[in-house]
Every structure is written in structure tokens, then in C-alpha cells.
Amino acid sequence: MKPRLKLLSMLALCSLAVVALRSSAATIYTLVPGGFVNAQSSGYPVGGSTVATVTYNYSSSTLLGTLTSKVISGDTSNPYGGLTFLYLVTVDGASPQAASRLTVSSFAGFATDVSYDTTISQTTVGTIVNPTSFGRSADGQVLRFSFDNPNIGDAQGSALMVVQTDARFYGNGTAAVIDGSSANVSSLVPVPEPATGTLLLLATAAFALRRKH
């Protein structure tokens, strides 16, 4: 085997080993790309410290409210040992309609455990609405939090939505609060390590070369 091809093959195997390690850490809260599950509650996160938090207003022709996103480091209940992301939606009392869904992206390439926590009070609204289901797009990018019965109505807020990941870095992403219309808003999301993209490209190239030979 040529030295270059051997190196690429070793990198590819390392990439596969990372995937295998992620799979071994799977729990009842694990949400894989293309997955759809009924929402389950948890007592997470446990411990850790807040490294970032932002609250942004969102608005559309039919929706008004806020989205708060937070990043936790050192959450001891995180099975992947990475960052934990928290999301909370509130709907303003003057909002013409209720909110039925929150989507957040991008989580492509990351392991995710998704749950909700009603034990941590994060909002001053009168009624807390629990999500009914969680979904993830086939490419793994978009997480969907649905509030089907009931929706999040006027002067109400969601339970704290918890996404535990294997990510080591975070940055800015895009979320959307949805019902009759979609209100886009900034949020905090995981981002790849600087070398991750290169490693994945090398792994793909290695498999392509092996197929040729």
C-alpha cells in the first residue's frame, strides 16, 4: 500500500472509531439523524457551568416572543462528555397566534441526546408547556421540538429543552419558531472543531481510493 493511501486509510479508521464510540454512549434520549421520538422528561443538565447565554426577540406576522439559548460545560449527565445546549421559547401576550414548533440548526455531525426538564425554572411566564415530540432531519442538521397538544399560547413558555452533545465548540446558528408563519431568530449551536472538516474529507478520500484499488 502506498504511504499516502495508508495514511488516509488510518485517518478513515480513526473517524470510524469516533462514530463507534458515540454509538456506545447511546441512551434512551439519543436522537439520531432521521429519528422521531415522543418527548421524554429528564432531570438534566446536572452540574456544570454556563459558558454562554443569549436571549433574542423573534417576530413575524403572527408570532411574537423570545428564544433563550444557553451553553453548559461540565454537565455530568452528558453521556458524550461535550457541551450541553438549552433552549427555551416564550410567546408574548400580544402574539396573534400560538407556537407549535421550534427548529434549531445545525447539529450535523454531532451526537445528540434530547430531553426536556420542568424542574429548572427559566421563565417568569405563568404556564409551562411541555414538548410532545422530538425529530431530527435525515442529514442530522435540524432538530425539531414540537408542541402539538397544547401549543405554546399567549403569555406561556416552553419547558427547558436539553440537547446533550459531543461538541467541544459552540457558535451562532439559526432557529425558527413556527405556527401560521415562521419567525427566524439567532441561537447558540455546536460547531465543528477546526480539524474535523479536514479529517472527514480525508476519510472520504481514503474510502474512494480503496474502492478504485
Residues sharing a CB contact under 8 Å with residue 118, sequence separation 6 or more, in sequence order:
41, 128, 130, 159, 160
Q: How far is CA 96 from CA 92, 106, 109, 174, 203, in A?
A: 9, 29, 37, 23, 50
**pLDDT one digit per residue (tens) for the chain, 213 residues:** 555 545 445 444 444 444 444 545 789 999 999 999 999 999 999 999 999 999 999 999 999 999 999 999 999 999 999 999 999 999 999 999 999 999 999 999 999 999 999 886 555 667 899 999 999 999 999 999 999 989 999 999 999 999 999 999 999 999 999 998 899 999 999 999 876 555 556 555 555 555 555
- Amino acid identity of 183? A
SS (HEC) of 39-83? CCECCCCCCCEEEEEEEEEEECCCCEEEEEEEEEECCCCCCCCCC
Domains of the chain (ranges plus CATH)?
Answer: 27-212 (2.60.40)
- What does the pLDDT read at residue 100? 97
- Amino acid identity of 49? S
Output DSSP code: residue 104.
Answer: E
- What does the pLDDT read at residue 118? 87
Give the span between the Cα atoms of 85 and 167, in whole angstroms. Answer: 10
Give the span between the Cα atoms of 44 and 49, in whole angstroms. Answer: 13
- What does the pLDDT read at residue 24? 56
- What does the pLDDT read at residue 200? 59
- What does the pLDDT read at residue 30? 98
How many C-beta neighbours within 10 Å does residue 21 have? Answer: 12
- What does the pLDDT read at residue 7? 45
CA-nearest of 145, 149, 156, 146 to 91 is 156
